Chain A
Amino acid sequence: MSGSKVRVTRWAAFGLIVGALSIVAAGCGGGDDGGGASTAIEGLGSSLEEIQELAREEGEVNIVQWAGYAQLVDEFAAATGCKVNTKDGGSSDDMISLIQTGAYDGVSASGNASVRLMTTGDVAPVNTDFIPNYEDVQEGIKNQSYNSLDDQPYGVPHGRGPNYLMFRTDVVPEATDSWNVIWDASGPYNGKLSIYDDSIFIADAAVYLKATQPDLNITNPYELDEEQFNAAVDLLKQQAPNVGEYWPGDVAKQIQSYTNKDSVVGTTWPYQYVQLTAADPPVPVKAIKPKEGTTGWSDTWMIYSKATNPNCMYLWMNHMISPEAQAAVAEGFGEAPVNLEACALTKNQNHCDEYHADDEEWWEDVYYWTTPVADCGDDRGDVCKTQEDWEAAWTEIRG
């Protein structure tokens, strides 16, 4: 080759190498924010407009939810072109199993599912730039331990609520205010108790023991050491023969048994209370947060990291925290919304007050569902019972 051609060739090669390196550098630098997971999901658009376009092509979204969570689905389908297919989960374990089949795009996860899903990477963090309604969510719910990891928000808050003590007022005195009606070994309602069938219910026993056996020093009903755990398990084993039905997240089963008076007192979600009181004729029930406090949940819509329809899912998440959907679910399910703009839209003007949407003090003795871990989080160290222990104990309690 002649000298000048060699020079050109060398410069060209140099240019190519620099160009290639810079492309690689750009690719590497883009999604990586120092150890955190990426919000990128295959097929997800890179702008809100693109997401809306791609959603129309996707045409549907498959979500796992708690019964009664999805609201205004027809309006959503008309506005976005995404048909909503829902699958009711019975428990957090159930929901995790469903998401892990890869057949669903998202889930309304409670704390005892969300942390596990975030840890395993089954759910992806969300890019809140693509969720315009996110900024209206109450600040106190954002970036909590159950919906964020490494300072990244992992979903869109949905709403929160307590697990109620519900009883038929024609059998149980209206003034009842304590959990002892379901824990009393010789109580008058034995055989007619309705109890949630999942290992997380051990926390409810712990909540009761926290108030009635202070020497156990229970501070967090999900972090129980050996002594506290055994006390809770013993209490549950004592209760087991008196339970009329263990309802496994099948809300219709519980609604039917309260209607037929097969159950007269037990634990429930607000949804059943709403359905029973709205029935024709209404079933005489009352639902309260007893004086000992209760377990509860603060739920988050999360997106599956390999969702088939990520664009529809993003639009869905935005939809569920819109004031209209929040108002619908707050009244339809019976919970406190997390977008307070919904309060002006509820049919019952006092809904937000009645459900304590903005009353943080009321929530102090509502212990949100979370996954038990070995690390007690205080000076006891790593001696607390894990999720595995809770599951094993529950199988034994059920007998």
Chain B
Amino acid sequence: MTSVPHVESPPRASPGRRLSTFFFRHSRVRLAVLLALPVAWLVVVYFGSLFVLLLSAFWDTNPFTAEVVHDFTLENFKRIVETPVFRDVAWRTIQMAALVTVADAVLAFPIAYYMARIASPRTRDLLVIAVLMPLWANYLVKAYAWRTILSDGGMINSVLEPFGIHFDGYSTVGLWLVFTYLWLPFMILPIYAGLERIPASLLEASADLGARSLATFARVVLPLAFPAVVAGSIFTFSLTLGDYIAPGLITNEQFIGTVIYNIRGEALPTAAAYSMVPIVVVIAYLLVARKLRAFESL
């Protein structure tokens, strides 16, 4: 008599494994599970909150208690469009953001290039740490230190005094210096990463083709590094656009953030309406940045 060989049936897979197999076969479900939490968070916490705020831009306020009254009105938007001060402040802020971005790009490039291409690995490590350190110094303390540096008897003026120059530090120029200082690390890091990605062979090829340093720089390095510069500029531009603390410490001038902060208690709907300005500007900036491939260089 022949006996039927005893075949062990495969062990029943554990629930975890069965779930994993299910996911393996259904990639759409896998994707959905991955995205569920982050998307839910962003939509509920962030976009939901923004919606609540921007909704109040359509409400009115009690003229005495400033309580928000749920009467639909377009008065707030009308006000920020028609009143000159809102336009002036918005324009002033955008200009400052642009100037700060340019200054940061100019200051960041040499050191980023140095770190990426010239420094030895050990120096590079140290430099990365050195550039990251200021991010750990408190923003307020830095701004306050600059207040002292910019003052009439401060460091800048004591250096310029022998030359007979007096520098009014508590001014737009002073604020420009402070912003440039505060956001510089945010510009250095992406440019450094972007420059590091350029293969040396490209630069050598450019030299072989007869280009001098400047030409190589202008026609090879700069275009390749440009997306990284734009990536850094996202931070310098947007951080300047909304800041109200540094302007309050350094100048008397109002910026978008200052106005929103000052009127938030008494005219929240107007503040909400005015918030649309930086929102629209930032979204437009991000769209342009995306076109310029900055998102891959963040």
Contacts and interface: CB of A to CB of B under 8 A. Distances in A.
Q: Do chains A and B touch in the complex (CB under 8 A)?
A: yes
A386 B63 contact: yes
Contacts of A119: 64-65
A358 to B, nearest CB: 34
A132 interface: no
A253 B170 CA distance: 13
Contacts of B66: 96, 116, 387-388
B116 interface: no
Interface in A352-399: 371, 373-374, 386-389, 391-392, 395-396, 398-399
A145 interface: no
Interface string A106-147: 000000000010011000000000000000000000000000
Contact of B266 (A373, A374, A388): A388
B263 interface: yes
A260 B265 contact: no
A84 B71 CA distance: 40
Contacts of B102: none
A18 B287 CA distance: 73
A246 interface: yes
Contacts of B79: 392
A89 B56 CA distance: 25
A253 B143 CA distance: 13
Contacts of B249: 253
B245 to A, nearest CB: 11
B259 interface: yes
Interface residues of A, number: 29
Q: Is the interface of A mostly helix, strand, loop or mixed?
A: helix
A391 B85 contact: no
Interface in B249-282: 249, 252-254, 259, 262-267
B272 to A, nearest CB: 14
A150 to B, nearest CB: 16
A388 B67 contact: no
Given A260-B151, A260-B152, A395-B259, A386 B254 contact: no
A93 B63 contact: no
Given A260-B152, A386-B64, A387-B63, A97 B254 contact: no
A223 interface: no
A211 to B, nearest CB: 27
B83 interface: yes
B48 interface: no
Contacts of B265: 93-94, 96-97
Given A119-B64, A395-B85, A262 B267 contact: no
Contacts of A262: 151-152, 170
B6 to A, nearest CB: 72
A234 to B, nearest CB: 15
A392 B267 contact: yes
A196 to B, nearest CB: 13
Nearest to B152: A262
B63 A245 contact: no
B61 interface: yes
B204 interface: no
Counting chain B residues whose Cβ lies within 8 A of the other chain, the interface size class is 20 to 34
A356 B170 CA distance: 38
Contacts of B252: 243-246, 398
Interface in B26-44: none
A10 interface: no
B209 to A, nearest CB: 55
Given A93-B266, A97-B265, A398-B252, A261 B63 contact: no
Interface string B133-170: 00000000000000000011100000000000000001
Contacts of A248: 248
A371 B85 contact: no
B125 interface: no
B56 to A, nearest CB: 14
Interface string A241-262: 0011110100001000000111
A214 B79 CA distance: 34
A300 B85 CA distance: 35
Contacts of A396: 83-85
A272 to B, nearest CB: 17
A224 to B, nearest CB: 15
B64 A116 contact: yes
Nearest to B258: A398
Contacts of B63: 374, 386-389
Interface in A267-286: none
A120 B67 contact: yes
A398 B254 CA distance: 7
Interface string B45-69: 0000000000000000101111100
Given A262-B170, A371-B64, A395-B259, A387 B266 contact: yes
A224 B65 CA distance: 18
B64 A373 contact: yes
A391 B267 contact: yes
A391 B264 CA distance: 11
Contact of B153 (A245, A260, A392): A260
Given A262-B152, A395-B259, A116 B65 contact: yes
A245 B170 contact: yes
A34 B21 CA distance: 71
Interface in B207-262: 248-249, 252-254, 259, 262
Closest 10 CB pairs of A and B: A97-B265, A388-B63, A386-B63, A93-B265, A391-B266, A396-B85, A120-B65, A116-B65, A398-B254, A246-B252
Interface of B: 61, 63-67, 79, 83-85, 88, 151-153, 170, 248-249, 252-254, 259, 262-267
10 contacts: A96-B66, A97-B265, A119-B65, A262-B170, A373-B64, A374-B63, A387-B266, A388-B266, A392-B267, A399-B254
Given A116-B66, A388-B66, 7 more contacts: A260-B151, A260-B153, A261-B152, A386-B63, A392-B267, A395-B254, A399-B253
